[in-house]
Amino acid sequence: MRTKSAQDISMSFLVIYWLGMLFTFLYLYWEDAFVAWICVLIELVCVALMIVTKVYFDRWGPNSKRALHRARPEARLTTSQSFAAQVNIDVRGAGRGAGGAPLLRLAGTHVARHLLLDARLELPACWCEAEADNPKEGSSDHSGRGSGVAGGAHGSVLQAVGKMAEAALAAAGLPVLGRQAQAFPSFRRPGAAGGDAEAAATPAASNMLLMSCRDGYVAAVWHAASSTLSLDLLAASDAAVGRMAEAAEALCEQLVVEWPGSRVEASSVARLPRAQQKQQQGHADGKEVELAEAAATKEESRMAASDAPSNAVVQACGVIATVLLVLMLLPQVWQLYRTRRADELSHVFLGLMNFGLAMLSCYNLFLELRVFFVAGLLQLALCLLTQAGKVWADRYQRRLHASQAGGRLERALSLRSGAGLEWSKFAAGAEAAFPLLRPAPSHAAQHLLLDARLPATAGAAGAAAGAESGAEPASFAAVAELLRGALADTGLLQRAAALAPGAAQAQQARQGAAQAQQGGEAETALFPCHNGYAALVWHADTASLSMDCLAVTAQSMRSMGAAAEAFSAALAQIYPGSKVAACSLGRLPAGGGSSGGGGS
């Protein structure tokens, strides 16, 4: 049911299933030809129902492509067939039902959703020559909105994309509050002349552009070696999600118009998804078991009046048929081991399996009572072993992925700081999220995502109580200062200047007192770091925050992990009772090589 197509049905399972049907047919034909043909027809109907059900779930089920397109904000990018064919867009779910922060129980207004765009640009020859001849494109921009990135005579791709993104955000009702550019030392061209001293003295080309807007931000990373552009568009409120999707659609259209032949891929990640996922999965098992028991009782009452044959060969054929029907579980066990969760067991398969075994066991009941009990116990033991083995395999794989992705951070947060860490993977098989892109081996980007919920007394609701008791409530400036200190201690913060945390508040203050009283708007702070960046989103009404740390090298990822560890420990120490959830997400896989070790 959760596989990609109906062709994924196990061939070995079908072979064993047909062998069991053959032995059952021979055994029943020896006894009663009418009963044998009825059993064969029932088995054929069961096989047809399994295939039809599989095709239905693939095309119209809750996990089909149609349902996924209707449930995600980036579906607007593919509503138009002509536009989808022109842009060559491929929508993939990077975080489908991932449950990134199960420890958090936040208010309904707390939304943080990523819209990730990766574009392979078809640049003309003049753009490529301009990129090679003009290394001095400017490394930073602190002049605020509309200032742009200082560029060469021919301009730069990042500068052009920044202007397109700013225009798209403004048209969607999300004006840009500030922007700044950053150069990654590891992205310097390997054939550049000069040693380390000359490379340090020469300003490098800009590789990253950060733009802060209302209730969100946009981060663009340009990989000149592979002509690949990675865009992260974050919306931190319900109203901003739709507007950010409109801005992304306009930006995709502009990219294709500017550089025809470009390829764009989109995916979405719900940082804090809705807590309505595992409520409708515990009811199907009970119904299937009741159906099997009812069928068994009916068959037993109908066949109890028959005389038991005395031929030992006939009984041996019945036992062989029962064993073969039970053995068809073994190939399915391996296929279930490769799935993600124990909840994804095919209830249709289990129902048909129980029905067939119950029917055969009831027929063996009038042969000998001992055979019936042995078959029932064997069936029950195999089902329990399947469930237990699947649960164990899931837990073992989660522990293995957690130890590979960031065991040091996980142990520090869960054992030493007492922050209550819950380590989870955003998307199984995330390394295959973007098959159309073939980046260079050094092209790797790894996200480290932290979501924290401070105690209720630390939010805006507990500000009055905190003032009476003398305790200082949590504020965006205090939390941002903690993050700035953690980044500075690990040597990631290249300069003290970052987007001012109060820029969003100053912009909102000019809009009048009426809008200021509404509240609930998110505040953002962006910190450009060495080969990466850190972004902080603060929700004052719920006293919760979301932090994104991006690193493009293995060394910077380890430094980001140390900074996140120090930041979480400081939160747990200053605000007792805080809860922190962490997860990692590989944006683009490393294609191999020693310099691309950022993904987990």
On the question of pLDDT at 174 being above 70, the answer is yes
Kindly indicate the confidence band of residue 351, based on its pLDDT and cuts at 50, 70 and 90.
low
User: In the prediction, which pLDDT does 64 show?
Assistant: 65
Q: For 274-312, how does the pLDDT look when each residue is reduced to its tens digit (9 = 90+)?
A: 333 333 334 334 444 455 566 655 555 554 444 444 456
Q: What stretches of 9-32 show up as alpha helix (H) in DSSP?
A: 11-31
User: In the prediction, which pLDDT does 199 show?
Assistant: 45
On the question of pLDDT at 220 being above 60, the answer is yes
Counting DSSP H helices and E strands in the chain, the numbers are: 18, 13
Kindly indicate the confidence band of residue 515, based on its pLDDT and cuts at 50, 70 and 90.
very low
**Cα three-residue angle 267-273-276, rounded to 5 degrees:** 125
Neighbouring-strand partners of residue 211: 179, 218
Is the pTM higher than 0.85? The answer reads no
User: Is the Cα torsion angle 64, 264, 433, 182 positive or negative in sign?
Assistant: negative
Per-residue b or e along 411-449, where b marks 16 or more CB atoms closer than 10 Å to that residue's CB: ebbbeebbbbbbbbbbbeebeebbeebebbebbbbbbbb
Q: For 92-126, how does the pLDDT look when each residue is reduced to its tens digit (9 = 90+)?
A: 433 333 333 333 333 444 467 777 788 888 877 66
Q: What percent of the chain has pLDDT over 90?
A: 2
Instruction: Give the separation between CA 462 and CA 472, rounded to whole angstroms.
Output: 10
User: In the prediction, which pLDDT does 94 show?
Assistant: 33
Per-residue b or e along 487-496, where b marks 16 or more CB atoms closer than 10 Å to that residue's CB: beebebbbee
Residue for token pair 């034909």: 29
Report which of 128, 135, 227 is spatially closest to residue 440, judged by C-alpha positions.
227
Q: What stretches of 412-472 show up as alpha helix (H) in DSSP?
A: 463-469
Instruction: Give the separation between CA 489 and CA 498, rounded to whole angstroms.
Output: 16
User: Is residue 519 classed exposed, middle or buried when 0-12, 13-18 and 19+ CB atoms within 10 A define those classes?
Assistant: exposed
Average pLDDT of the segment spanning 535-548: 84
User: In the prediction, which pLDDT does 13 show?
Assistant: 56
Q: Higher model confidence: residue 484 or residue 86?
A: 484
Kindly indicate the confidence band of residue 510, based on its pLDDT and cuts at 50, 70 and 90.
very low
On the question of pLDDT at 594 being above 60, the answer is no
Report which of 453, 407, 411, 402 is spatially closest to residue 572, judged by C-alpha positions.
453
* 338 Cα distance to chain centroid: 17
User: In the prediction, which pLDDT does 252 show?
Assistant: 85
- In single-letter form, the type of residue at position 8 comes to D
Q: Higher model confidence: residue 319 or residue 239?
A: 239
